Amino acid sequence: MLVQSSVPPRPVNPSAAFAAASALRSALSSSAAASAAFDGRPGLPDARGRALRDLRISVTDRCNFRCTYCMPAEVFGRDFAFLPRELVLSFEEIARLASIFVALGVHKLRITGGEPLSRRDLPVLVRHLSGLRTAEGLPVDLTLTTNGSALRALAGPLAEAGLQRITVSLDSLDDEVFGRMNGVDFPVARVLDGIAAARSAGLTPIKVNTVIRRGMNEASILPLARWARAEGLILRFIEYMDVGHTNGWRLDDVVPAMEILESLDAEMPLESVEAGYRGEVAGRYRYRDGSGEVGVIASVTRPFCGDCTRARLSADGSLYTCLFAVAGTDLKGPMRAGASDDDLAGLITGLWAARTDQYSELRSAATADLPKVEMHALGG
């Protein structure tokens, strides 16, 4: 049964946000760099002409996995100080900020974390977010990324609350390899069962995210691809990234997307598919025999900063304009101090307008050691 909402429905008055957005757009239209790159679709352009279109919302900094590349157990042990409850945004606060972002042109919301399904009563938040409408009056594109461990219990309530589709992370079909990567010996079968539950609940199409790390799970590439193709799942291989600074990232640990594609193509011939929309992060390929699609997210070897339309809201209410940021801007403080929707829209607008981030395009040995915010904190 879906938990009843404790969040009162909130009327959205986006007029001020739209006014701020159009004032900003006209101010920026005089900037040659911005107007040259701006793709003409609604949404606030940043200083490089990239529109604000997507918001990733981290609902918790906690996770029940200790993936070696994200929250290694040596660092995130029993004594690790996660956010105290009072510093985490409430559902009311998240829904309020999301409505302001949508009024500013965001059309896609992705719920993430940490492990989002470990946040209590998550369907309540989903119900509120699924009620948001874009300026064109369309429902927002609402999705969620999860490790799948609690999907058996939650897939139905999430779908009922209005979640449309889901992405599940799974790094191997081999229990030994998967257990080593997830850091808690979590069995593959339970994730597969979660995926089955998501399918029965209609959370489709289902995407599967796989991080490939050299020396850990390259041997899992082909078995995962065969399985996903047979199951009708959209598998996306992600290059191991230098997010945060606790995973000891080295360029040598990255398996380039091209290498992954070559090994897939040798067994299951591929052809490329045009991006579904500007800013899509995955390079998409289809199997030539028509049996489905696979993707690669080549953030290290083929950075896509030039098309990045994503902002990230951390569990404690900071706004980050890049996955590799060293700092965010606090929205929770002003909100709790009584800022109006217009004030918050102005803050977001100003921040986005000044955005110049292009970390992945500038990545080098020197940037790997920057004190970047951890992915579990700002939302993957």
Please report, as ranges, the residues that interact with ligand SAM according to CB under 6 A: 63, 69-70, 112-113, 115, 145-147, 169, 209, 211, 238, 240-241, 243, 247, 375-376, 380
If you ran DSSP here, which 8-state letter would residue 64 be given? S
Task: For ligand SAM, give the closer residue by CB, 28 or 208.
Answer: 208
Q: Which of residues 122 and 211 has its CB atom nearest to ligand SAM in the complex? A: 211
The CA distance from 245 to 229, in Å, is 34
- Judge whether 189 and 172 are in contact, CB under 8 Å: no
φ and ψ at residue 6, rounded to 5 degrees: -100, 0
- Tell me how far, at minimum, the Cβ of 307 lies from ligand SAM, in Å: 18
Work out the burial of residue 132: count CB atoms within 10 Å of its CB; fewer than 13 is exposed, 13-18 middle, 19 or more buried: buried
Chain position whose Cβ is nearest to ligand SAM:
380
Closest distance between ligand SAM and the C-beta of residue 43, in Å? 24
Q: Please, what is the minimum distance in Å from the beta carbon of residue 285 to ligand SAM?
A: 19
Q: Considering the complex, what minimum distance in angstroms separates the CB of residue 119 from ligand SAM? A: 11
Contact 247, 68 (CB under 8 A): yes
Helix (H) or strand (E) holding 190: helix 188-201
CB nearer ligand SAM, residue 66 or residue 376? 376
In angstroms, what is the minimal distance from the CB of 167 to ligand SAM? 7
Between 167 and 309, name the residue whose CB sits nearer to ligand SAM.
167
DSSP conformation letters of 87-129: GSPPHHHHHHHHHHHHHTT--EEEEESS-GGGSTTHHHHHHHH
How many other C-beta atoms can be found within 10 angstroms of the C-beta atom of residue 13?
Answer: 14
Shortest Cβ distance from residue 353 to ligand SAM (Å)? 28
Residue 117: CB minimum distance to ligand SAM, A:
8
- Other residues' Cβ atoms within 10 Å of the Cβ of residue 342: 15
Question: Residue 36 belongs to what H/E stretch?
Answer: helix 32-37
Write out the two tokens for 134.
Answer: 């874009």
Q: Residue 205: is the preceding peptide bond cis (ω within 30°)?
A: yes
DSSP 8-state assignment for residue 305: G
Find the helix packing angle between 151-160 and 122-130, rounded to 10°: 30
Longest dimension (CA), the chain: 59
What's the min distance (Å) between Cβ of 67 and ligand SAM? 6
Question: Do 218 and 347 touch, CB atoms closer than 8 A?
Answer: no
Distance separating alpha carbons of residues 380 and 29, to the nearest angstrom: 32
Rank residues 38 and 69 by Cβ distance to ligand SAM and give the closer one.
69
Nearer Cβ to ligand SAM (169/349): 169
Backbone angles phi, psi at 18, to 5 degrees: -65, -40
Alpha carbon 352 to chain centroid, angstroms: 18
Closer to ligand SAM at the Cβ: 51 or 296? 296
Compute the least distance from the CB of residue 50 to ligand SAM, in Å: 21
Output the smallest distance, CB 140 to ligand SAM, in A. Answer: 19
> For ligand SAM, which is the closer residue by CB, 145 or 349?
145
